[in-house]
Amino acid sequence: MIEAVTQRRSNVPKILNAFKNNNTSQHFSKLRDTKLLLVGAGGIGCELLKDLVLLQYGEIHVVDLDTIDLSNLNRQFLFRHRDIKTPKSTTAVKAVEYFNTNTKLVAYQGNIMDPEIFTIDWFNQFDFFVNALDNLQARRYVNKMSQFLNKKLLESGTSGFDGYIQPMVPHLTECFDCTTKELPKTFPVCTIRSTPSQPIHCIVWAKDFLFQQLFTSDTTIENNNNHNFGSTDPKEIERIKNETNELKSLQLEITNTSTNNNINQIIQHLLTKLFVQDIKKLLSIGTLYNNNSRSNNKNKPSPLSQELINDTINKMKINSNNKILKLNNVWDINDNLIRFIEVAHVLIKRYRKLLSLASSSENNNKDNEVCIEFDKDDQDTLEFVATAANLRSFVFNIPILSIFDIKQIAGNIIPAIATTNAIVAGLSSLSSLKFLTSSSTLYSDKDTNDITSNLSIAFTAKAGKLGNNNKYITTTQVTKPNQNCVVCSTVMRGLLKIAEDGNGNGADSCNSIVLSDLIDNLVSKYGYTNAESISIMDINSGRLLYDADFDDLLNKTLIRDLKISNGNILLITDEDGNDAGKFRKPLELYFQICNDNINADHKPSLILPDIELPLVKPLKSISMDETTDINDNKSQIKEYDEDNGVIDIDDSDDELIMDFNGDADEEEEEEEEEGNTTKHSILYDDETDISAETGIEPPTKKTRGEIRQSKDHEDVIIDLD
Ligand SMILES: Nc1ncnc2c1ncn2[C@@H]1O[C@H](COP(=O)(O)OP(=O)(O)OP(=O)(O)O)[C@@H](O)[C@H]1O
Ligand SMILES: [Zn+2]
């Protein structure tokens, strides 16, 4: 493989050539001065940490909330068997420490979304952020931090053979949320509970309904009346609700440890209910399975034989089952039934033990739920769900699967490929060098001052298969923010700092600031018409703090009375839009009290007993006519044109851009010279479908159309011939 992968010399990324030229020492010292945050020390994170350390970045802080698991060892190469159960971040850092002693490494075990540990000041110390995460929520959070702090973010993700990297510069390029991300697929309740037709429907039933109902006391989800039943038939909805209640009463048999319930009997009741009685009731609903029914008659169920259930249980009372079953084979229905009975036994005992421990515990808190959680790596829970799903599949004429296959589906597992992680981490570390050059003179050509022109999104070929272009990795230039993005475009963001006076009276001076002080500052700084023209909401508590009709809190202190503290987000809305003929985006201010705990190097320069508002330039005033235009005239917005499949990237867009640095007013996008651009047909087909969990999503609008791309853009071509 390695021999087969050769890089064409002419396509070696420009960035590497740049480091070879005369400016090397200048660039290297910049790299040495850079302090970056790496979030995630898993599959991509381990590779990336190694790359970044080898590049000799000055300081790298690594955050991961998790500890090392056996299943990580096949690809997270910084970890050994002896490291199992140790924190990923500290262990990864220890493993790379000796690669070069010039890089300062700091590890944290914690959730990056925990504002108590990772305050905004803490985020603010870094030059840029690098994500190596595996979930949308955390990715979105870091993205938001990058917007509040105006810090660049390098995003990356892999899903099996697919991988991508995306550099993001707040206000200049798309942010993580500029494109909608596909959410994990959900199914209507009635498909899962009444008319399954695929193995996944039975697996979801076993995992999210049956297992939860039996081994957890939380029934809030099932009792929620707002379910998407996917059916309007009142009989069917009634049946689904009854079925749930009956299962709950079966759970009582399990939990009732005072009477010495016979576990075999409970399992017999359970099997009879699930696979005989419930199925008969289902068949009695005429609308479900007749010739005109919406469901697939191919999957019309037949109840399991009651005799089979009784015989199997009776036989197992006499002989224990010694048959060795392989997890990657498809078991027949008898074996599934036997194994279901065995694991149900084990789980009922486990659940009873947990209950008795909880009730004997001194700190017994009734609100504490006792539950067994489904975990794909907990063999009992996995086999219970898998065999129950297979029994249901059998009843509904759906193919039965191996335990191994069900593990992949129930655990939402897409096998992680170490090579993809390594490639993506490599691309990410190369791309990080481009961040360094954005405001420097790394390139001596005309691009020097254009922050974004050197930045590219990169994708691997889908499923590792080369398309017509014969390229394994393809790059496309980053694009401008989506004007409708709720994170970066429809709301402005910044830090609201309340700073100490530096004379030890800090806390007092902060505490004396009242709401009207804040309002005065806002009005004078941002040019709102007057105090009555704005409203202020505390987003964290959903409280209205001020508007023209509510001035009761004006004399209340922000910190003591209104309990605004670090991490609160205040939403300032210009209510005066119509009267003043102005059009202003809402402003979100992240509240921050500057105190002595801030790392001395990163204290804001202004240390006064005052309010420091971000340098948001007053927005351009627009007459009502123009405002209407912006709202109505969709042609001003980049749009994917369904008909001709071409995206109109209109550089003449009149964008309203906020500038936290205070050095740019409107975004000055240099119109690319016509001669410098080519129409570049896009490299992904319609089927591009990358996991929602990993958050990988090629920019959807671009995937089907054509995009305009600079001739200077370089593809990294890996020649597989
Ligand atoms: N909110 C978060 N804060 C800190 N670290 C996080 C957060 N969310 C995810 N992570 C970390 O990001 C890393 C992602 O790595 P990866 O995709 O390889 O997942 P994994 O959990 O190591 O592997 P798998 O999910 O395949 O078992 C994990 O180590 C995970 O702990
Ligand atoms: Zn955005």
Q: pLDDT per residue over 116-162, tens digit each?
A: 889 888 999 999 999 999 989 999 999 999 988 889 999 999 988 89
| pLDDT class of 687 with cuts at 50, 70, 90 | very low
Kindly compute the dihedral angle of the four CA atoms of residues 506, 511, 514, 515, in this order, to the nearest 10 degrees: 100
The topology under which CATH files domain 492-624 is: 3.10.290
Residue 695 CB–ligand 1 contact under 6 Å:
no
Torsion 13-18-24-26 (CA) sign? negative
The topology under which CATH files domain 6-178+415-480+674-719 is: Rossmann fold (3.40.50)
Q: Who contacts 558 (Cβ-Cβ below 8 Å, separation ≥6)?
A: 498, 513, 514, 515, 518, 564, 591
Name the more confident of 645 and 179: 179
**Which residue in 394, 427, 494 sits closest to 158, CA to CA?**
427
Q: Who contacts 606 (Cβ-Cβ below 8 Å, separation ≥6)?
A: 497, 499, 612
What would the two tokens of residue 38 be? 């790496």
In whole angstroms, what is the distance from residue 103 CA to residue 116 CA? 27
Residues whose beta carbons lie less than 5 angstroms from ion ligand 2: 175, 177-178, 485, 487-488
pLDDT for 238:
78
**Which residue in 390, 375, 392, 381 sits closest to 330, CA to CA?**
390
Ligand 1: which of 44, 66, 137 to mutate, judged by most atoms within 8 Å of the beta carbon? 66
40: annotated binding-site residue? yes
Which residue, judged by its Cα, is nearest atom 11 of ligand 1?
40
CA atoms within 13 A on the CB side of 641: 13
In whole angstroms, what is the distance from residue 219 CA to residue 171 CA? 44
Residue 411 CB–ligand 1 contact under 6 Å:
no
Average pLDDT over residues 579-586: 55
| pLDDT class of 357 with cuts at 50, 70, 90 | confident
Q: Which CATH architecture has domain 189-410?
A: Orthogonal Bundle (1.10)
pLDDT at 700 over 80: no
Ligand nearest to the CA of 493: 2
Q: Who contacts 62 (Cβ-Cβ below 8 Å, separation ≥6)?
A: 38, 41, 45, 49, 89, 92, 93, 105, 106, 107, 108
Taking only the tens place, the pLDDT of each residue in 269-319 is 999 999 999 999 888 876 677 655 555 677 889 999 999 999 999 888 777
**DSSP assignment of 276-319:** IIHHHHHHH-TTTSSTT-SS-GGG---PPPHHHHHHHHHHHHHS
Q: Which of 197-201, 273-277, 589-593, 688-692 has the lowest mean pLDDT?
A: 688-692
How remote is the CA of residue 40 from the centroid of ligand 1, in Å?
Answer: 6
708: annotated binding-site residue? no
679: annotated binding-site residue? no
Same fold, 6-178+415-480+674-719 and 492-624: no
Q: Please report, for the chain, the start and end positions of each structural domain, with discontinuous segments joined by +.
A: 6-178+415-480+674-719, 189-410, 492-624
In whole angstroms, what is the distance from residue 643 CA to residue 199 CA? 37
Residue 408 CB–ligand 1 contact under 6 Å:
no
In whole angstroms, what is the distance from residue 512 CA to residue 652 CA? 47
pLDDT for 440:
39
Which residue, judged by its Cα, is nearest atom 22 of ligand 1?
42
Residue 64 CB–ligand 1 contact under 6 Å:
yes
How remote is the CA of residue 155 from the centroid of ligand 2, in Å?
Answer: 13
Query: Taking a C-beta distance cutoff of 8 angstroms, is the pair 216, 207 a contact?
Result: no
pLDDT at 658 over 50: no
Proportion of the chain above pLDDT 90, given as a percent: 35
Taking only the tens place, the pLDDT of each residue in 293-304 is 555 677 889 999
How remote is the CA of residue 103 from the centroid of ligand 1, in Å?
Answer: 24
How remote is the CA of residue 161 from the centroid of ligand 2, in Å?
Answer: 27
Residue 506 CB–ligand 1 contact under 6 Å:
no
How remote is the CA of residue 137 from the centroid of ligand 2, in Å?
Answer: 15
202: annotated binding-site residue? no
Which residue, judged by its Cα, is nearest atom 16 of ligand 1?
42
- Looking at residue 177, what DSSP letter applies? G
Which residue, judged by its Cα, is nearest atom 5 of ligand 1?
64
Give pTM, 2 decimals. 0.63
- Looking at residue 183, what DSSP letter applies? P
Query: Taking a C-beta distance cutoff of 8 angstroms, is the pair 489, 656 a contact?
Result: no
The catalytic residue among 46, 190, 510, 594 is 190
**Catalytic residue status for 190:** yes
Residue 133 CB–ligand 1 contact under 6 Å:
yes
Residue 65 CB–ligand 1 contact under 6 Å:
yes
In whole angstroms, what is the distance from residue 262 CA to residue 539 CA? 53
The pair phi, psi for residue 201, each rounded to 5°, is -65, -40
In whole angstroms, what is the distance from residue 318 CA to residue 708 CA? 74
How remote is the CA of residue 479 from the centroid of ligand 2, in Å?
Answer: 11
